[in-house]
Amino acid sequence: MRYRISGLCALVVALVFVACVPTAASAATLYGTVGPGYTISLTTTSGVAVRSIAAGRQFDIVVRDRSSHHNFRLAGPGLTRQTSVAFVGTTRPWRVTFTRGTWTYLCQPHSLTMKATIVVR
């Protein structure tokens, strides 16, 4: 009897674990793209520019940095991620949880013009 109860507990624990894993691994992807010209964007997989995000949502951000004259920097409350100016290529996904506040993404050498904000609420 004791054995059967602990077996049931193990099964319950296993089911809870399996139920939680897909959620953690299924953040949607957003694309940050900078260059080769003087352009910077953050878009959904369908190419729609991201202007606002619901607080607490999590995304995997893949940055496509297409120029050694630009970089892509994402900053919000408590978090900054960026490519180097020299880097050209596609980053591994940055798993980001968007906390409430104003987020910005920009190219540091040209931040006066290559800059945008995202409202997270």
Q: What are the residues binding Cu ion (CB under 5 A)?
A: 70, 107, 109-110, 114
Residue number with CB closer to Cu ion (61 or 120): 61
CA-CA distance, 52 to 118, in Å (whole number)? 5
What is the C-alpha R_g of the chain?
19
Q: Which is nearer to Cu ion, 96 or 114 (CB)?
A: 114
For Cu ion, the closer CB: 101 or 109: 109
Shortest spacing between CB 116 and Cu ion, in angstroms: 13
- Cβ contact 66:40 at 8 Å: no
The least CB distance from residue 64 to Cu ion, in Å, is 14
Rounded distance between C-alpha atoms, residue 57 and residue 87, angstroms:
28
